[in-house]
Amino acid sequence: MSQLSWAYLNRVVEGPSRPLQQLLDAGRDADEIARGVRRRATWIGELATQTASRHNWDRAEQDLADAAAVGARLIHPGCAEWPLAEFDRAFGFAATGRSDHLRSYQADAIPPHVLWVRGMPLDQAVAQSVAVVGTRAATRYGHEATRQLVQGLATHHWTVVSGAALGIDTVAHETALATGGLTVAVAACGIDRTYPARNGALLDRIAAQGCVISEYPPGMNPQRHRFLTRNRLVAALTAGTVIVEAAWRSGALNTLSWAEGLGRVTMAVPGPVTSAGSLGCHERIRQGRAQLVTGADDVRGLLGAIGALDVAEQYELAYAATPVQSLTRNELRVFDACAPGGSTAQEIAAGAGLPLPLAVHLLMDLARRNVVRLDGTAWSRVEVSEG
């Protein structure tokens, strides 16, 4: 199958895509599916709707060239380094319906269709791996707890996977590198983009001593819904996820929820009872949705018994979400596609990768909720506090 076809599909289908996965499972190859999408063939079914706004974005050669320019490559199912075992275990568990966690039943509980990789072979990097994630607003306690945890894991040859965000993620990556261990950063933007900007040098070091990966084609900007989608990969690629400092509304909790829904081991480091930054950790421990760990030995002991943990019911967070935090994934895609100076509905549909009628419907609903507004023909965001 052609790399060009995989790259084309990655550009026109913002994954994860269940219709695309179903076509692949049915025996259609990437070349055939790419031709079907370009020609708007009837047999592509729901994939026609998903690609309605982007099917003419045919820049596969440029995407492959842009990736090569930063030392990255495109991998897909069938490639030697594709982490098939990890994805089969995680998303296979989600497909059984055995998890009580709601996200297991959502459309995005499926593997990526391609990945862009800088660095060593991905399957080797994640063969024995654990996710370590936490708040961006890390305290001195969080920094020290992360250092001690990661040092112990790296010393015992565990790859540390995280999201390269500021705070706990950065400490986890830096400590793994300093200890001589492997680390993997999962980006929520194109492989040629640097986010956050101040971690550019760190990402280069990770690529040299592990790997940086992304589900998104070159040039793709980081947006809220992409971070949520990215979190499922952090959880799926690893045997378990540890959170170090997480408040009530935290991306780290979202990653831990994905680990729960994908049947991976869920763990949390307790923090000071006086710290609001550890409330999320404490609540997951209290509800039995995460095992309490205080060091690398605890983590390694739990990962030796993968699958032995019961999945608790979903805990409803005590504080109501802000308007933006309450948005669904598709609503976030539309919201993020609104440019600061305003965008037309057609531009938003293309930017979000959604059919125009659906994008307009979502925009009108968001306008009724005072999240976006329409000025003439331009839709723009309404400034709202995210708490």
Residue 39's Cβ-count burial label (10 Å; 0-12, 13-18, 19+) is exposed
DSSP annotation of 117: E
- The dihedrals phi and psi of 182, each to the nearest 5 degrees, come to -95, 150
The answer to whether the peptide bond before residue 83 is cis (omega within 30 degrees of 0) is no
- Give me the amino acid identity at 304: G
Bridge partners (DSSP) listed for residue 74: 116
At the second CATH level, the architecture of 329-381 is Orthogonal Bundle (1.10)
Task: Mark the ranges of the chain whose per-residue pLDDT is less than 50.
Answer: 102, 104-105, 305-320, 386-387
pLDDT for residue 264: 94
87-303 and 329-381 share one CATH topology?
no
- The dihedrals phi and psi of 104, each to the nearest 5 degrees, come to -60, -25
CB atoms within 10 A of CB 181: 20
DSSP annotation of 28: -
Write down the domain spans for the chain. Answer: 1-58, 87-303, 329-381
Distances (CA, A) of 75 to 80, 203, 241, 347: 9, 19, 24, 30
pLDDT for residue 322: 67
- Spatial distance between the Cα atoms of 186 and 230, rounded to a whole number of angstroms: 7
Residues with Cβ within 8 Å of residue 281, at least 6 apart in sequence = 243, 244, 245, 246, 268, 269, 270, 271, 290
DSSP annotation of 343: B
H-only helix segments in the chain = 3-12, 18-25, 30-39, 47-50, 60-69, 84-96, 122-125, 140-155, 168-178, 200-208, 224-236, 251-261, 279-286, 296-303, 329-337, 345-352, 356-368
Contact 142, 94 (CB under 8 A): no
DSSP annotation of 103: G
pLDDT digits (tens, 9 = 90+) for 217-227: 999 999 988 99
Q: Which residues of 135-144 are buried (b: 16+ CB within 10 A; e: fewer)?
A: beebbebbbe
- Spatial distance between the Cα atoms of 324 and 327, rounded to a whole number of angstroms: 5
- Spatial distance between the Cα atoms of 174 and 186, rounded to a whole number of angstroms: 15
- Spatial distance between the Cα atoms of 63 and 217, rounded to a whole number of angstroms: 7
pLDDT for residue 101: 60
In CATH, what number does 87-303 get?
Answer: 3.40.50.450
Distances (CA, A) of 359 to 44, 53, 273, 289: 21, 10, 44, 36
Three-state DSSP at 375 gives strand
Global pTM? 0.83
Residues with Cβ within 8 Å of residue 284, at least 6 apart in sequence = 243, 253, 256, 266, 268, 290, 315
pLDDT digits (tens, 9 = 90+) for 349-376: 988 888 888 889 889 889 988 899 999 9
Residues with Cβ within 8 Å of residue 301, at least 6 apart in sequence = none
State the distance between the two ends of the chain, measured CA to CA, in whole angstroms.
47
pLDDT for residue 384: 59
The answer to whether the peptide bond before residue 16 is cis (omega within 30 degrees of 0) is yes
pLDDT for residue 315: 32
Q: Are strands 115-119 and 72-75 parallel, antiparallel or unpaired?
A: antiparallel
- Spatial distance between the Cα atoms of 337 and 352, rounded to a whole number of angstroms: 6
